[in-house]
A and B are shown apart, each in its own frame.
Chain A
Amino acid sequence: MSSIGASLKDKFLNGALSITLMSVLFGFLLGGIILLLAGFNPLEAYGVILKGIFSRPKYVSYVIIYSTPLIITGLSVAFALRTGLFNIGAEGQYIMGALAAAAAGYYLKLPMVLHVFTAVGLAVIVAAFWGGLAGWFKARFGVNEVISTIMLNWTALYISNWAITIPSFGRQGTGKTYAIQPTAQIDILGQWKRTPEGIAFLREHPMLWDVLKSPVNLGFVFAILLAALVWYVLNRTTLGYELRAVGHNPQAAEAGGISVKRSMVISMLFAGGLAGAAGAFQVLGVSHRIATLAIMEGYGFDGIAVSLIGNNSGPGCVFAGLLFGSLKYGGSKIQDVMGAPTEVINIMIGIIIFFVAMPKLIRMILAYRKRRERN
């Protein structure tokens, strides 16, 4: 027992985890200083944020809803990074996934569970193709994936905006599509909670009612399953072995008989599919439609940050996504309650990433502390 405790302690104090935790701490510290400079009491602000996250069941479910797409796009970026590819294109793949899910959810008429799986499946295939395209460009023509995925992001955005103008798909004048069929929705008790019996039942169970006031849905469950899948594929399968070998040292992988080009394409197919699933769950569980986008929503870009904070691992992305979702949701409340700028939250997230990307500095601080302890 004590050895497990010791190894856990070791992980917290010396491993990658300690760096992440220290970075988060610094993020809060510097965020507090900025709040102070702006004339707000940081302790009060953090109190508001904590309350905004935990004080009501509804808030917690909103945090989970906010986190779900971030976890999955984080997985997408992490998966590609393990093969040494920088998937800036999670955003575009997300858009393509959302578009495919919205179309499948609206046009197809299928029974309940089957409809969900078909819509998600189509979204994953379309987005995997979108990601795989960047992988293929790199393998075949040597195009840097950062450049090709940025291009594909904008292409996806305009394809999506154009699709909404199709009369049978988009509601004229609203800039939105028609809502998907109820059979494709993954809201928990989404239909029932609006029926008279449902309302009557919920009046007697205020806790549950509070939770169901949010568009709570199954997306988070799928996100956890996907995180487990990513971990399993990367660490327990021959495919994951190949991809990691290519990520660490493509030349040694090639000499060992692994096809580097094939690995690049496969990795980007997977990454695209994951980001597409994020888009699909968002459409099927939260928005039920897609809307014309002036700029990108940023789920894919936030995925880059989630992946970095989560140390590019499946479980890491879950926690980083939850942290990100909490800050985004809870942080928005300091504006309403105190009139403090929500931008501070974004600055804080930026600072956390900044420190995560600077492990050396954190290690120096940790080493300094240890030396002082010894003396």
Chain B
Amino acid sequence: MTSVDFSHKTVEMIDVVKKFGDFTANDRISLTVHRGEVHALLGENGAGKTTLMNCLYGLYRPTEGVIRVNGEDVVISDPNVAIGHGIGMVHQHFKLVEPFTVAENIVLGREPTKTLGRLDMAEAERQVAEISERYGLSVDPQALIQDISVGSQQRVEILKALYRGAEILILDEPTAVLTPSEIKELITIIDNLTSEGKSIIIITHKLHEIKLVADYCTIIRRGTFIDRVEVAKVSEQELAAKMVGRDVSFSVSKSEVVQGDRALTVDNLVVRDNRGIAAVNGLDLQLYHSEILGIAGVDGNGQSQLVEALMGLRQVESGRILLKDHDITHATPRQIIGDHHICSIPEDRQKRGLVLEFDVAENLILETYMRPPFSRRGVLDNGEIYRFADHCAETFDIRPRNTGLQAKSLSGGNQQKVIIAREVSNNPDILVASQPTRGLDVGAIEYVHKALIEQRDNGKAVLLISFELDEIINVADRIAVIFEGRIIGILDGDEADENRIGLLMAGGSA
């Protein structure tokens, strides 16, 4: 944080306007970044953060405004020009060739060659090793991308930019896919880079991380510039209020509710993942009505497979799943949803949760389309379907209020509202929520948490799976820690503290 060189402005964006047809995505936004500075770009989903950075990286041409790099006016017509000016971007979704090695990916497009244009792989690996050592980004140049962790893949993306001579690095939501320990590593890397005089722009909506790494922060809301602040001088609360435009409560208010009857029992469950490894390995769990049971754990400890097994989407190897006393271990998804009243908010809303090409109304009936009033004798009743959808849009505040829009044209938060509307209106006895707030901004997170607590207050059993420890501690009544496919500790929500859970999550004993 001390490495900022205020005498040198590396990037200046002045009154940048970007319009798409009649829609103004960026309305006169200005941004200044100095050498050695970490600058956060904060805003809700759809506020125009990524659009602004795409203008800087040459993916879009601004409609109006000036961009200066190192004090000179530039026109960045495409990413190659941006790279020429020393600007590199790491996208949220990595752009890597999976079956290629780390070194091959990094040099791709600028490969070192021997005579006659023969690829000099040894030289490439040497160069990769050199820059990875200089900035403390440890990677194995010979490993294949498909074999390395998401955190390592991100390091490869950063190295790719550095290899091309980047002085200014744009990181788009860099922590969205990382585990807590990988986030710590990333922060160290960012420190190393700034002390070498690089400038970094982080696109994010995670306030906690801004406080940790950023020197300055530019806040935008609905495409307009709100404020530029020195991060050390503001609180997370103030940042959140600027971003959302109103005060946001971080702590979730919960009333006391007495735990109800047992709803679901998981008994010595074993489930294999796609590679044939027992990802869930002898898991026991009891879920009660009128409670939110949080499953805390680092990604990849069997959470996905547990949920898929519960929802009938993955075969159970051994063990039992009991609904009260009824064995539902081998029930089909339709039986589980329709007959046993277990509904789920899937961890990947675009993959499992929504048919993006369907409109909002069609998505809302994904589990109920075969029943009256939505259909009779196999014929859909569009009148009823859209009436129901409009009602949902009103009740669950799905924006815009046009249920004929394709789900893919909605923002992430509103897509999640569609899923929540569908699952909650289905009136389940048990609600399984996996990563329900992943990628959402503060306002939407608040909404999701309220919805979960409301379900619990209505006597439902809620199973909440999350990698965000804060979320679990805030929302859950009881906390079960999952490690290597097993529950290795259960704590009461009131007495849980981060250190104890953190230790369990890493496989230690509490």
Contacts and interface: CB of A to CB of B under 8 A. Distances in A.
Contacts of B353: 252, 255
B356 interface: yes
Contacts of B357: 248-249
Interface string A243-272: 011001101111111110000000000000
A257 B334 contact: yes
Contacts of B379: 236-238
Given A245-B358, A248-B355, A255 B311 contact: yes
Contact of B367 (A237, A244, A257): A257
Interface string B355-370: 1111000100011011
Contacts of B362: 241
Contacts of A239: 378
Contacts of A255: 311, 313, 333, 344, 346, 352-353
A249 B313 CA distance: 15
Contacts of A242: 369
A249 B354 contact: yes
A238 B378 contact: yes
Nearest to B371: A238
Nearest to A253: B355
B82 interface: no
Interface in B363-408: 366-367, 369-370, 375, 378-380, 382
B351 interface: yes
Most buried by B among A237, A248, A257: A257
Contact of A257 (B333, B355, B358): B333
Contacts of A237: 375, 378-380
Interface string B315-350: 000000000000000001110111000001010000
Given A236-B380, A245-B358, A257-B334, A252 B375 contact: no
Contacts of A249: 351, 354-357
B337 A257 contact: yes
B366 A245 contact: yes
A242 B334 CA distance: 13
A256 B366 contact: yes
Interface residues on chain A, size class:
10 to 19
Given A251-B352, A255-B353, A256-B367, A238 B338 contact: no
Interface string B34-77: 00000000000000000000000000000000000000000000
B348 to A, nearest CB: 8
A258 B382 CA distance: 20
Contacts of B375: 237-238
Contacts of A238: 369-370, 375, 378-380
Nearest to A246: B355
Interface of B: 311, 313, 332-334, 336-338, 344, 346, 351-358, 362, 366-367, 369-370, 375, 378-380, 382
Given A238-B380, A255-B313, 6 more contacts: A236-B379, A237-B379, A251-B351, A252-B352, A253-B355, A255-B352
15 contacts: A236-B379, A237-B378, A237-B380, A238-B370, A239-B378, A241-B369, A241-B380, A249-B351, A249-B356, A249-B357, A251-B352, A252-B353, A255-B313, A255-B353, A257-B336
